[in-house]
Structure formats: structure tokens, C-alpha cells
């Protein structure tokens, strides 16, 4: 596979198929995809705020002149993949029915602004939120859910090309969707895949996430575009799958031992191949979700985030 540099902007992957990459790929810096035929384009996801989504539009206008985004696919309900939807008012927006439902119950842009802006509460959590989300502008965002929903699978036409959408959630979130351009050998995974950082499991179950990785691998795609991080290949998908299996096994052992979820995340030893991944503290969120699947009462979101922020302070790099 030709290595695609992890640099900002539009990168051609195959037959009129592009990745719009946003390094460093950490909290909020999400990737998009573009599939083109003639003057028609399908866009996979938008950005976290309106200025960044406008920068995406400006890039498409400059580098793909004469191309109109007729379709936007929202891979899931997290704001860094859909809070720019309103800037594509003339496009059909497609997402899973579960994503449309979840968007109405997500943390709102205004609430996130209050948690991460200059007036955010003092303390470990406020500092964490300002550090990771304070660079985004959450003003003026009008939540814009899908105008067309589906369950299971859906084929979408882009000019003369067929793009395959597959619902693989609940996994990372309730309604995760992957997007496959078979004629280009490209899969856009949304946040089913994180490369270079620890992922976040908001929903689970882990079995669905493992099955989603298997589904991506079965496409035989040459290029796999994660929701965050550099473009990878099927070997990268397999490594990520092994990570999920490892974390799930470790969490199960600690749950059976009665260890609190935040302590289980802090104590979990990591194999060498995962030690360089960023945001180790996000294991707290994932282990909390895994404990819930094992029968623990759901932990309140703000409690989980507070433990996550505290874990970043304690954890060594890697």
C-alpha cells in the first residue's frame, strides 16, 4: 500500500476517492471522506465546528472545482463528525436510524462550550476539557440530523458509482456506520477505528465492535480511513481488533476481582505495541462501558469524565 502522509487536507486514495485528514487526530480532530463521480460527490462526515467545516468546504471548492456535495453520510452521533452538517443544507444527509435518535440526546454544543470554554469550572476536569476542547468554536451550531435514515445496509449512488453503507453499531456509539467504496478499495470507518490513540467505547458491546473490524477486513480494502489518525490498511485493522480483545479480557478479570473501573484502567498493563498510543486515560471510558456490559450499574457520565481527567494527570506517557 502506498503510504498516505498524515498531513492536513485532501489526499487522493484511489479512483476519485479522497481522505480529508485532520492531524493530530486527537479529541475532536476527525477525518472525513470524499467520493466523486462527475460533478457529484458524497461526503463522509463533517467537522466539529462551523469554522473547520467551512475550511473543509473551501478545500473541496479549490481542489475539486465544479463538484457539488449532493450527499453527506453521518457515521455516528458524536459532534466532531456531524456538527458541521448545517453547512450542507442542499445535500441529502444519510445516517442510521440509531444515529438520528442519538443525536437528539448527545451533549449539546452549548453544554460542551460551557464545559470547555474560559468559564469552565476550575479543577482537574475543567482543565482537561479546556486543554482538549478549548480550541473549538461551538457557537452558532444548529444540530442537523439525517434527512434519510436506514437500518442494516444501504447502497447509495454517486453518479455512476455505488457506495455501500453498513450499520455496525452499537459499538463505539449506538448507530455506527462504515462506508465502502468497492471500486476504489477504500473503507471509511468513522470511529470504529482509531489509529495512534486509545479509542473510546461509549456504548458497546465489544462483540459488535470486533464484528465490525471483521466486516472491514472482509472488504479486502487497500485503504482504511479511521475516524481519527492516519490512513491504515487491513493489518492496522487487525492490530486494533487485537487491542479490543486484550482490553476486554483485562477488564473482565478486574470486574470479577471487584476492582473499580477507574482503578482497573489505571492498573492495566499494556503490551509494547500499544504503549506508544496517546490518550491512555481514555481507557477509563472504555472500561466503564465494558463493566456496564458485564452487569455493573451505569456510571454517570460526569463521574467517568472526572476519573478520565484524573487518570491523564497520573498516567505516564504511552
Q: Please, which pLDDT band fits residue 160 given cuts at 50, 70 and 90?
A: very high
| Alpha-carbon torsion, ordered 192, 193, 197, 199, to 10 deg | 20
We find that the CATH architecture of domain 9-108+143-232 is 4-Layer Sandwich (3.60)
According to DSSP, the β-strands at 161-167 and 177-181 are antiparallel
Q: What is the pTM of this model?
A: 0.96
Q: Which residue has the higher pLDDT, 1 or 12?
A: 12
The pLDDT, as a whole number, for residue 318 is 41
Backbone phi, then psi, for 10, in 5-degree steps?
-90, 130
How far is residue 3's CA from residue 285's CA, in Å, rounded to a whole number?
Answer: 31
What tens digit of pLDDT does each residue of 181-227 get? 999 999 999 999 999 999 999 999 999 999 999 999 999 999 999 99
Q: Which position has the grid cell 477507574?
A: 262
Is residue 73 over pLDDT 60?
yes
The H or E element spanning position 286 is helix 283-294
Q: Please, which pLDDT band fits residue 120 given cuts at 50, 70 and 90?
A: confident
Separation in Å, CA 196 to CA 48, 279, 302: 20, 9, 26
Q: Please, which pLDDT band fits residue 15 given cuts at 50, 70 and 90?
A: confident
Is residue 113 over pLDDT 70?
yes
Cβ neighbourhood burial of 75 (10 Å; 0-12, 13-18, 19+): buried
Is residue 1 over pLDDT 90?
no
The pLDDT, as a whole number, for residue 118 is 87
The pLDDT, as a whole number, for residue 121 is 84
Bridge partners (DSSP) listed for residue 86: none
Q: How many helices (H) and strands (E) does the chain have?
A: 9, 12
Q: Please, which pLDDT band fits residue 313 given cuts at 50, 70 and 90?
A: confident
Is residue 159 over pLDDT 90?
yes
Bridge partners (DSSP) listed for residue 93: 72
180 contacts: CB under 8 Å, gap ≥ 6: 163, 164, 165, 166, 186, 187, 188, 219, 221
Percent of the chain with pLDDT over 70: 98
The pLDDT, as a whole number, for residue 315 is 62
Backbone phi, then psi, for 45, in 5-degree steps?
70, 155
The pLDDT, as a whole number, for residue 317 is 44
Is residue 231 over pLDDT 80?
yes
Average pLDDT over residues 42-63: 98
What tens digit of pLDDT does each residue of 279-310 get? 999 999 999 999 999 999 999 999 999 999 99
Amino acid at each position: 500500500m502506498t503510504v498516505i502522509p498524515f498531513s492536513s487536507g485532501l489526499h487522493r486514495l484511489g479512483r476519485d476517492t479522497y481522505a480529508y485528514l485532520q492531524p493530530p487526530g486527537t479529541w475532536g480532530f476527525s477525518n472525513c471522506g470524499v467520493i466523486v463521480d462527475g460533478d457529484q460527490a458524497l461526503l463522509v462526515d463533517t467537522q466539529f465546528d462551523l469554522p473547520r467545516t467551512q475550511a473543509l468546504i473551501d478545500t473541496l471548492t479549490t481542489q475539486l472545482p465544479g463538484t457539488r456535495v449532493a450527499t453527506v453520510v453521518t457515521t455516528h452521533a458524536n459532534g466532531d463528525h456531524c456538527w458541521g452538517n448545517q453547512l450542507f443544507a442542499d445535500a441529502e444527509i444519510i445516517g442510521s436510524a440509531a444515529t438520528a435518535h442519538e443525536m437528539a440526546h448527545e451533549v449539546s454544543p452549548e453544554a460542551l462550550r460551557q464545559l470547555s470554554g474560559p468559564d469552565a469550572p476550575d479543577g482537574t476536569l475543567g482543565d482537561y476539557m479546556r486543554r482538549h476542547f478549548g480550541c473549538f468554536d461551538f457557537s452558532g451550531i444548529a444540530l442537523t440530523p439525517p434527512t434519510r435514515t436506514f437500518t442494516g445496509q444501504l447502497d447509495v449512488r454517486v453518479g455512476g458509482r455505488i457506495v455501500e453503507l453498513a450499520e455496525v453499531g452499537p459499538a463505539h456509539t449506538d448507530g455506527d456506520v462504515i462506508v465502502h467504496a468497492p471500486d476504489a478499495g477504500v473503507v471509511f470507518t468513522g470511529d470504529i477505528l482509531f489509529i495512534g490513540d486509545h479509542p473510546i467505547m461509549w456504548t458497546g458491546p465489544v462483540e459488535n465492535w470486533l464484528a465490525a473490524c471483521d466486516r472491514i477486513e472482509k472488504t479486502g480494502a487497500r485503504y482504511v480511513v479511521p475516524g481519527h489518525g492516519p490512513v491504515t490498511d487491513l493489518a492496522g485493522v487487525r492490530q486494533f481488533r487485537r487491542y479490543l480483545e486484550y482490553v476486554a479480557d483485562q477488564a473482565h478479570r478486574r470486574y470479577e476481582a471487584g476492582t473499580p473501573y477507574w482503578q482497573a484502567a489505571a492498573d492495566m498493563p499494556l503490551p509494547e505495541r500499544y504503549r506508544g498510543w496517546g490518550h491512555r486515560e481514555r481507557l477509563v471510558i472504555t472500561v466503564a462501558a465494558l463493566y456496564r456490559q458485564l452487569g455493573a450499574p451505569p456510571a454517570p457520565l460526569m463521574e467517568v469524565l472526572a476519573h478520565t481527567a484524573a487518570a491523564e494527570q497520573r498516567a505516564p506517557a504511552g
